[in-house]
Structure 1
Amino acid sequence: MVHSDFTVSASRPPQAPADQNHPHTRDSLAKDMRTLGLRSGDLVLVHASLKSLGWTSGGAVAVIQALQDVLTPWGTLVVPTHTSGLTDPTRWQNPPVPPEWVPQVQASLPAFDPERTPSEWMGAVAETLRTWPDVQRSHHPHVSFAAWGADAAAIVDDHELSMSLGEGSPLARLYDHHARVLLIGTNNCTSLHLAEVRAGTATAITQGAPVLRDGQRQWVQFSDLDYDDTHFADILDEFAAAQPAHTSTGRLGSAVARLLEQRPLVDFATGALGRKVE
Structure 2
Amino acid sequence: MKEADVIKQLHSPNTRSSLHENFQKLGIEKGMVIIVHSSLSAFGWVCGGAIAVVQALMDTVGSEGTIVMPTQTADISDPSEWQMPPVPKEWWPIIREHMPAYDPQITPTRGMGKIVEAFRTFPGVKRSSHPTYSFAAWGKEADNILSEQPLEEGFGPSSPLAKLYELDGHILLLGVGHDSNTSLHFAEHAILNRDKVKKGTALFENNERVWKTYEEIVYDSDCFAALGEDFEKTHAVKKAAIGSAECKLMKQRLIINFAREWLNNKDRL
TM range, normalised to the smaller chain?
Answer: over 0.9
Query: For the residues of structure 1 that align with 2:193 and 2:176, how far apart are their CA atoms?
Result: 23
Q: What letter matches 2:255 in structure 1?
A: L
Shift of 1:134: 0.8
The answer to whether the Cα contact below 8 Å between 1:109 and 1:210 also exists between their aligned partners in 2 is yes
Q: Out of 218, 222, 226, which is 1:234 matched to?
A: 226
CA contact 1:80–1:145 (8 Å) conserved in 2 = yes
Match of 1:53 in 2: 43
Contact 1:83 1:143 survives alignment (8 Å): yes
Aligned length: 266
Structure 1 residue aligned with 2:109: 119
The answer to whether the Cα contact below 8 Å between 2:68 and 2:135 also exists between their aligned partners in 1 is yes
Retained in 2: the 8 A contact 1:206–1:221?
yes
Partners of 1:155 and 1:194 in 2: how far apart? 14
1:206 CA displacement: 1.0
Instruction: Return the offset for 1:165.
Output: 0.8
- Structure-2 separation of matches of 1:198 and 1:98: 36
Q: Aligned match of 1:259 in 249, 253, 258? A: 249
Match status 1:191 vs 2:183: yes
What is the SS of the residue equivalent to 2:263? helix
Residues 142 and 242 of structure 1: CA distance in aligned 2, closer, same or farther (over 3 Å): same
User: What is the match of residue 101 of structure 1?
Assistant: 91
The one of 204, 212, 225 equivalent to 2:217 is 225
Question: What SS is found at the alignment partner of 1:249?
Answer: strand
Change beyond 3 A, Cα 1:113–1:28: same
Q: Offset at 1:133?
A: 0.5
SS state of the match for residue 84, structure 1? coil
Match of 1:177 in 2: 167
Q: What does residue 215 of structure 1 align with?
A: 207
Displacement, 1:98?
A: 2.1
In the aligned structure 1, how far is the partner of 2:46 from the partner of 2:192? 41
Give identity over the alignment, percent: 38
**Any conservation in 1 of the 2:240–2:246 contact (CA below 8 Å)?**
yes
Match of 1:90, as an amino acid? S
C-alpha separation in 1, matches of 2:42 and 2:6: 12
AA paired with 1:205?
A: V
Q: Give the whole-Å Cα distance in 2 for the aligned partners of 1:202 and 1:118.
A: 30
List runs of 5+ in structure 1 lacking aligned partners.
1-5, 8-12
Q: 1:25-60: per-residue Cα shift (whole Å, max 9, x none)?
A: 111111111111000000000000000011110110
Matched-pair contact (CA < 8 Å) for 2:38–2:173: yes
Q: Say which SS state the counterpart of residue 235 (structure 1) adopts.
A: helix
Q: Equivalents in 1 of 2:161, 2:151: separation in Å?
A: 13
Structure-2 residue corresponding to 1:206: 198
Structure 2 segments unaligned to the other structure (5+ residues):
none
Asked if structure 2 preserves the Cα contact closer than 8 Å seen for 1:39 and 1:70, the reply is yes
Matched, 1:155 2:145: yes
CA distance in 2, matches of 1:67, 1:79: 12
Letter in 2 for 1:196: E
Deviation at 1:168, TM superposition (A): 1.7
Given that 2:9 and 2:44 are in contact with CA atoms closer than 8 Å, whether structure 1 keeps it comes out as no
1:166 aligns to 2:156 (yes or no):
yes
Could you tell me how far 1:95 is from its partner in structure 2? 2.3
Please list the CA deviations of residues 171-209 of structure 1 after superposition, one character each: whole Å capped at 9, or x if unmatched. Answer: 111111111000011111000001111124742111111
1:138 corresponding residue in structure 2: 128
1:270 counterpart = 2:260: yes
1:41 aligns with 2:31: yes
Q: How high is the TM-score relative to the length of structure 2?
A: 0.95
